[in-house]
Structures are given as structure tokens and as C-alpha cells.
Structure 1
Amino acid sequence: MIHEIALLHIRPGQTAEFETAFARAQQIIASMGGYVRHELQRCLEDDHKYALLVWWETLEDHTQGFRGSPEYGEWRSLLHHFYDPFPTVEHYARVDL
């Protein structure tokens, strides 16, 4: 399982609109192959910053499946105009010690 972490910086004054748009957009990502679950978390110290956490079955489910899908265009049009700067997105795998 892969854990995607995206740090989202929302333009000041647009957090309410972002959350409304995200409520619609989350239905898109949840319908994708390999999607497991997601969480959107708001930063306590800076209320225009969010962390989007998404669990995928494989890295390719996100990078090729979701990002290569027609639905990604709708996701992009709903959310990308809120970001400044554009998010850093990284993928992590669990370390079993």
C-alpha cells in the first residue's frame, strides 16, 4: 500500500470555497481504481494550509491511473486554482521494523 501526502497551500480568503469544491472532488478520487481511502486535514497553526492523505494500492494507481484518467481533468478544474504555490506531492510506503 502507498500513502500519498500532498501539502496544500490555499490562497488566503478561499478556504471555505476550497472545502466546498473538495467535497465534490473527493467523490472523483474515491471512484478511482486502486483507491483505498483519504483524509483532508487542516493545519492548526495556519488555517489556509491542508494535508491531503490518500492511500492507494500501488504507486501506479495514483500516478498513471488517476492522473492519466479523464476524471483527473475534472479534479484539476475543481481544485488547482486554489493552490499557491502548487502542492508538493510525495509517496510513502510503510516501514516494517
Structure 2
Amino acid sequence: MIHELADIQIKPGVQAEFEAAIVHGVNTVIAQAKGFEGYEIRKGIESPDRYLLMIRWTTLEDHTVGFRQSEAFAQWRAIVGPYFAQPPVVQHFSTLNQG
């Protein structure tokens, strides 16, 4: 399993709208993608305009090729993109150890 971690900074004052949009976008677009295994969204405490979207994928290619190179990615960005203050920073992680 691969963990995609997207560090998202949104425009000030649009938290409620963004939170509704991100949940809607994941549940209706990303969740339909091959290899999608689940997600978590976390909101910054010290930085309330910062969010972490963590998505579990079966393989790296399920995200980087199957989803990112599909029409679904454009649909996803149309839902959440208008709220971004800057492009998200996205990286992928594997599990080293779990407690």
C-alpha cells in the first residue's frame, strides 16, 4: 500500500466551503478510481487554512498514472482547485513500521 500525502494551503476565509468540497470530491471522484483504498483529511490547528489529505492507494501507479492521467483528475481539480492558495505539495510514502 502507498500513502499519498497532499499538503494543501487554501485561501483565507473559505474553510467551510473547502471542507464540503474536498469531502464531496473524494467521495464522488477519487473513491471511484482503481486502487483507491481509503482516505483521511486533517485540518491544521495553528494554521487553519492548511489541510493534509492522506489517500491510501494499492500501488503508486494507481495514483500517478491511473488517476492523475485520467479525466477524473480534471474533475477533482475543478471541485477543489478554486480554493487553493497555491498548488498542493504531494508526496508518496510507504509504511516502515506501525505501532
Could you tell me the percent identity over the aligned residues?
38
Match of 2:17? 17
Match of 1:51? 52
Tell me the amino acid that sits aligned with residue 10 of structure 2: I
Match of 2:67? 66
The separation in 1 between residues aligned to 2:23 and 2:60, in whole angstroms, is 24
Match of 1:83? 84
Structure 1 residue 90: Cα displacement: 0.1
Match of 1:8? 8
TM-score (norm 1): 0.93
Structure 1 residue 23: Cα displacement: 2.3
Structure 1 residue 73: Cα displacement: 1.2
- Alignment partner of 1:92 is 2:90: no
Structure 1 runs (4+) greater than 6 angstroms displaced: none
Q: CA RMSD in A?
A: 1.3
Structure 1 residue 45: Cα displacement: 1.0
Q: SS in structure 2 opposite 1:52?
A: strand
Q: SS in structure 1 opposite 2:13?
A: coil
The separation in 1 between residues aligned to 2:66 and 2:90, in whole angstroms, is 16
The separation in 1 between residues aligned to 2:56 and 2:24, in whole angstroms, is 19
Which consecutive residues of structure 1, in runs of 5 or more, have no partner in the other structure?
none
